[in-house]
Each structure stands twice: as C-alpha cells, then as structure tokens.
C-alpha cells in the first residue's frame, strides 16, 4: 500500500508547484515533519525549493523581500512559533509598506499533551510558546492569515495564500500549523495550480483616461510625481514615452526604485514642492506621499489626479491628499491606455504629437533648463568636497559612481542621506535601484542578499549609515552571504550616529536646549569596526577609510572582491554629527 504524504510534504509540494524557488528558513521544534519532508525530497532528487538557512528571522524575511522586489516573485519564509514570528520584527512592516508578496509560515505549539497524536508536546518550551494569539504579532501588516486545521486542504491554502499575496496591492501572508497537523498523513487533493492565479491588473475607466490626456495636453505647467512606479520595470519606458509625447516633467519623490532615468531632460529631481507650487495639473502616480503639506501645497484650482492600486492608502489610518480624481488602477496599464490613445490620434496630429505642439516643446525646453540648473547646483556642491578632499555622502557617492557601470544595482538605505546618494550615484536603467518603502531600518542587510540572489551576474552595492548597519543584524547577514556565496559590497557612511533623529529634533526644537548643548543621545562614537564584524561573521573583506585619498582604492578593492565572490565592507568615517558624551553610569 502506497504511503500517503504528510501535510508538511504537501505544503512543500504546493510551494514548488506555485513556482517558489527559495525557502528562507530558521527552523525550530515545530518543524520536524517539514525537515523530514525536505530530506525525503532530496533523496528523490528534488532540490526545490532550495533552503537558505538564516541565523536571524529579520534576515530571512528581508532577503525574501529583496528577491520579490527584484523579480515580482514571492518566496517562502519559515520561522519558529511565536518567538520566531516576533523576531521578524519590523521586516513584516517593511514587506507590507513595500507591497512585496511573501509567504510566511510559522509553526504553532502542539495542541496535545499526552502523546495522543504524532507531534504531541515533549518539552517544556512547548508550554511556554503557547501564545493566546500568535497571529496578532503580524496581523495588522499581513494581507491574510490562517491556521492549517487539516492537511486535507493544505494545497488549497498555500495557493490561496500566494494568490492573495501576489494580487494588487501585493503583500505578505501568514500561515501557521501545529506539529500534529503537519505530521498528519492525508490524500493528495486534485488541484490545478493554474486556476489560482492572482487577480488581473485593473485598467482605468476610458473616460478618465481621456480626461487625463486632455488636461495634460491643455496644461501650461503639468507635473508627474512618482515614488515606486518602477516596481514594474517595464513601466519605466512607458512613463518616458508618455512624458516625452506630452511634454510633462517628472519628479521622483523619496524614490524607492528607479521610475525615470536620472539624466533625462524631463527629470526634475526629487523635490516636488517647487513644481507643485507652480503646477496647474498634477498626476500623482504610484506614490503614497506626493508632497508634504507642511512643506508646500498645490495652489488653489490645480487639477490633481491620484493613480494607484490603492489610491486611498487604506492601510494607513491617517492619510489624505485632496484631489479631483482618484483612480484605482495598475499604473502600467494606465500608461498603456494613454499611449494607445495618443498613437490612435495619428502621429501628425499637432494636439497629440509632442514634436508638433509648440506648447509641448515649450514645456520640454523649460523643464530641461530647470533640470540643468538643478544638476549644476548638485555638481558644484560635490566639487567643493572633492577639491577640499572631504569625505561626505556626496563625495563618496560621486567616487563610487565613477567605478560602477549602468547595469550595477544600488541598494540605497542611507536614510537621512538617501537623497544625497540618489543625486550623486545616478542610475539610468530600470531595476538598478532598490530601497525600502517601510521604515524599519536594517532591511538592506538581507534585502541586498535577496536582490543579488535574483541577479547573480550583476554587481550589487548596498549603501547604509552606521546606525542602519547595526539594525541589519550583520552577524546573520554576512554568515548567509558567505555560506551561500552571495557577495555584496556594503558601503557604510559612518557619521557616528542616527542623523534622522537629530534632524527631527532640530526641525522641532532648533536652537533650544538639546540643540545648543549637543545632547541628542544619537552618538555612536564611531567606535565600532564594521568591516571586522563582517569578517568575523562571514569571512568578508573590509577596510575603514579615514582619508579621502584612500577612498577610491578601497572601493575598487571592494568591487574586485565581490566580483571574486567575497562579501566586502568599506566603512567611511565622515564628520561626526555629535560629540556628546554618554551619561555616567
């Protein structure tokens, strides 16, 4: 008689059928049936999904996040009961805010005490991990959560979970199962994976597209603001064509990915406030904050379109952007609709052809002039640092920009200096910049590994601050990088503390007690040897740079090391943001 598969075996089989390639795992006492099923798979020559052991759960979910951001494909994260779930920490927030699909599985403590079923409790920790509501740890960030009650429908649950995770707006899902259920032997249900596809992307209503085109054509000062349109990399070229045909400049505000080529004449940088103050039509497409009301607002009478998979940002309790049209649609499809309408109007129609419209040409020329002035200011600022031999975020980014090609991928988690890095380490191709839309610092540790795993043949450079480096769980990050040969160059901008915290203090209490006395409690003293941490954890190569003349050589060496397969860390000591002494203990 043929032995029936276990629930755990069906769980893995279903992930494999759905196309999941990697299982980022930190196994525990709740996973014996899963480990046994994996071992049986390997004996049969089945090596997918490949297991990536992660010493810390934050690394695991961040790596799955990075892989999904680079490919759009959800991967699996397996963690241990309530404590492993808790160790995911802010990584769940990051995945939710970045709208990446991830399948998270955690065990539950056994629900039998006296050996009634296989997997029954057999250690004291099984009692201590019996949380009243384990799902509550992640519920407000996941799109769907459920518990496996029986293995008889586990394939349906897995495919439903991935279907929900991948449907717009994408996000993480959370499934649990106790040891007894995972060990249950059950018949394999008849299931067709192709019938569990994500919800099809939604286009905009035709009349709204027509209205959008008319308003942009008749506008004197239109502007497009985006943050993450480039999550769908094919949409970047579409946005370029729309902007060129209609003569509309583009601002990338708090850019998470590359949505518009940096050196394009219609690129107006990263600050939307000057443009929106003067605009008569604003298109906020794929951005959750097209401007900050405390810094600037559109003038009265400006026509505003908000286009997004979730134009009302329903997962954010306090949020509003007064607008004339809220359009729930896939941005790539909307751009397709606009382009189709423009093309159907005929290339010789002056109202539709960018080259035939004096108004359009005027807007292009004006935007190009503003862009040249903007870039000249940026260049002048960094040239001052270069001539003086100062180590600054701008000079470090500038030197690095001269050492990598256009195909290299930059992971930017420099936080307060992220805009500086973005300006002076310009990217031009879709899929060459990745950031974290969430706000839990440290994502780039595992995130860069996931991006590299998805792009084995490309150079990946991660740029972080010293405060963020601590949050990356470097002992876990570099162990994984070394064990699985996932080499990334990490550049640490070490300004001796958390500058974002200091900046917020000075914005609110400038010139007051803390500001005057240099008491911010953000000072990390530039005392940690970051390259040595990486070397101890994962045999990484590293160097700490304290003089500008040593910078280029160190970066070149780091790039050569990662090309050879060795993770590398270059820590650059900048001017410290604070010299406060710690409180005496």
Note the pLDDT tens digit of each residue in 493-535: 999 998 889 999 999 999 999 999 999 999 999 999 999 999 9
CA distance 448 to 62: 8
Average pLDDT over residues 155-178: 98
Average pLDDT over residues 303-330: 97
| % residues pLDDT > 90 (the chain) | 94
Tokens 């740890």 -> residue: 137
**389-573 shares the fold of 206-373:** yes
- Second CATH level (architecture) for the domain 7-196: 3-Layer(aba) Sandwich (3.40)
CB atoms within 10 A of CB 416: 20
For the sheet with 409-413, list strands across it. Answer: 433-434, 409-413, 460-465, 489-494, 568-573, 541-545
184 Cβ contact partners less than 8 Å away, ≥ 6 residues apart: 6, 7, 118, 150, 151
Confidence of residue 415 (pLDDT cuts 50, 70, 90): very high
pLDDT at 402: 98
Provide the b/e sequence for 434-472 (b: ≥16 CB within 10 Å).
Answer: bbbbbebbbbbbbbbbbbbbbbeeebbbbbbbbbbbbbb
Least confident of 9-23, 198-212, 347-361, 460-474: 347-361
CA distance 77 to 61: 6
Query: Can you give the residue ranges of every domain in the chain?
Result: 7-196, 206-373, 389-573
Q: Is the pLDDT of residue 346 over 70?
A: no
SS3 (DSSP) at 352: coil
- Cα 242 to Cα 279, 307, 539, distances in angstroms: 18, 15, 48
Q: Which of 174, 439, 145, 140 is nearest to 317 (CA)?
A: 140
389-573: CATH class: alpha beta
Confidence of residue 349 (pLDDT cuts 50, 70, 90): very low
Q: Mark out the alpha helices in 402-496 (DSSP H runs).
A: 418-424, 443-454, 466-471, 474-483
Q: Which of 327, 566, 549, 548 is nearest to 557 (CA)?
A: 566
Average pLDDT over residues 16-35: 97
Residues in the chain: 585
Q: What are the tokens at 515?
A: 């500001």
206-373: CATH class: alpha beta
For the chain, what is the mean pLDDT? 95
| % residues pLDDT > 70 (the chain) | 98
HEC string for 518-559 = CCCCCECCCCCCHHHHHHHHHCCEEEEECCHHHHHHHHHHHH
Average pLDDT over residues 559-572: 98
Confidence of residue 345 (pLDDT cuts 50, 70, 90): confident
Q: What are the tokens at 376?
A: 């000249």
- Cβ atoms of 428 and 86 closer than 8 Å: no
CA distance 369 to 375: 10
Average pLDDT over residues 164-173: 98
- Partners of 433 in the β-ladder: 410
Question: Vertex 463, ends 462 and 464: CA angle to 5°?
Answer: 120
**543 dihedral zone (left: phi>0; alpha: psi -120 to 50; beta):** beta
pLDDT at 358: 85
- Kindly tell me the sign of the dihedral angle through the C-alpha atoms of 281, 278, 258, 64: negative
pLDDT at 418: 96
* Cα 532 to the center of its chain, rounded Å: 27
What pTM does this model have? 0.96
CA distance 219 to 187: 64
Average pLDDT over residues 168-177: 98
Q: Is the pLDDT of residue 347 over 70?
A: no
Q: Is the pLDDT of residue 298 over 90?
A: yes
- Cα 185 to Cα 3, 150, 163, 263, 569, distances in angstroms: 8, 10, 25, 59, 48
Average pLDDT over residues 362-370: 91
Q: What are the tokens at 275?
A: 């443009």
Q: Is the pLDDT of residue 64 over 90?
A: yes
Q: Is the pLDDT of residue 348 over 70?
A: no
Average pLDDT over residues 354-364: 75
Preceding peptide of 98 cis, ω within 30°: no
């Amino acid at each position: 008689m043929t032995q029936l598969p276990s629930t755990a075996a069906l769980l893995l089989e279903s992930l494999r059928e759905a196309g999941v390639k990697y299982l980022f795992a930190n196994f525990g006492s709740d996973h014996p049936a899963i480990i046994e099923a994996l071992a049986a798979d390997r004996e049969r020559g089945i090596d997918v999904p490949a297991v990536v052991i992660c010493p810390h759960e934050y690394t695991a979910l961040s790596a799955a996040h990075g892989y999904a951001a680079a490919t759009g494909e959800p991967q699996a994260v397996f963690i241990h009961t309530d404590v492993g779930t808790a160790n995911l920490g802010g990584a769940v927030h990051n995945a939710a805010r970045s709208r990446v699909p991830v399948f998270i599985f955690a065990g539950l403590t056994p629900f039998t005490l006296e050996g009634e079923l296989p997997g029954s409790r057999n250690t004291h920790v099984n009692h201590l991990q019996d949380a009243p509501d384990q799902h509550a740890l992640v519920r407000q960030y996941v799109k769907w959560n459920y518990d496996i009650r029986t293995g008889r429908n586990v394939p349906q649950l897995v495919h439903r979970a991935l279907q929900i995770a991948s449907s717009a707006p994408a996000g993480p899902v959370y499934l649990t199962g106790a040891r007894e259920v995972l060990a249950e032997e059950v018949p394999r249900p008849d299931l067709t994976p192709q019938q569990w596809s994500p919800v099809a992307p939604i286009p905009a209503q035709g009349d709204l597209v027509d209205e959008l085109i008319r308003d942009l054509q008749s506008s004197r000062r239109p502007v497009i603001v985006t943050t993450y349109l480039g999550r769908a990399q094919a949409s970047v070229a579409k946005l370029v064509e729309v902007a060129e045909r209609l003569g509309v400049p583009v601002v990338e505000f708090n850019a998470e990915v590359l949505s518009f080529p940096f050196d394009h004449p219609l690129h107006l940088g990263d600050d939307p406030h000057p443009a929106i103050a003067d605009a008569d039509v604003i298109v906020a497409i794929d951005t959750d904050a097209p401007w900050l009301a405390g810094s600037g607002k559109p003038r009265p009478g400006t026509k505003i379109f908000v286009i997004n998979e979730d134009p009302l940002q329903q997962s954010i309790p306090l949020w509003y952007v007064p607008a004339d049209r809220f359009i729930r649609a896939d941005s790539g499809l909307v751009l397709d609709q606009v382009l189709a309408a423009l093309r159907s109007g005929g290339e010789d129609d002056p109202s539709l052809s960018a080259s035939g419209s004096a108004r359009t040409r005027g807007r292009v020329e004006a935007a190009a002039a503003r862009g040249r002035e903007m870039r000249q200011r940026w260049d002048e600022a960094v040239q001052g640092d270069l001539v003086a031999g100062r180590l600054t975020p701008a000079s470090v980014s500038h030197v690095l920009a001269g050492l990598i090609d256009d195909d290299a991928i930059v992971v930017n988690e420099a936080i307060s200096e992220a805009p500086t890095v973005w300006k002076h380490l310009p990217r031009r191709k879709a899929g060459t910049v990745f950031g974290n839309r969430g706000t839990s610092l440290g994502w780039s540790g595992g995130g860069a590994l996931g991006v590299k795993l998805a792009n084995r043949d490309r150079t990946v450079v991660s740029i972080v601050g010293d405060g963020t480096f601590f949050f990356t769980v470097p002992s876990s990050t570099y162990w994984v990088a070394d064990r699985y040969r996932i080499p990334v160059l990490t550049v640490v901008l070490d300004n001796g503390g958390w500058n974002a915290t200091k900046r917020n203090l000075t914005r609110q209490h400038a010139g007051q007690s803390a500001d005057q006395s240099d008491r911010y409690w953000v000072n990390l003293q530039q005392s940690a040897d970051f390259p040595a941490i990486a070397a101890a954890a994962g045999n990484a190569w590293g160097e700490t740079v304290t003089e500008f003349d040593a910078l280029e050589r160190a970066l070149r060496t780091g790039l050569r090391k990662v090309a050879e397969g060795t993770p590398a860390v270059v820590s650059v000591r900048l001017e410290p943001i604070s010299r406060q002494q710690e409180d005496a203990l």
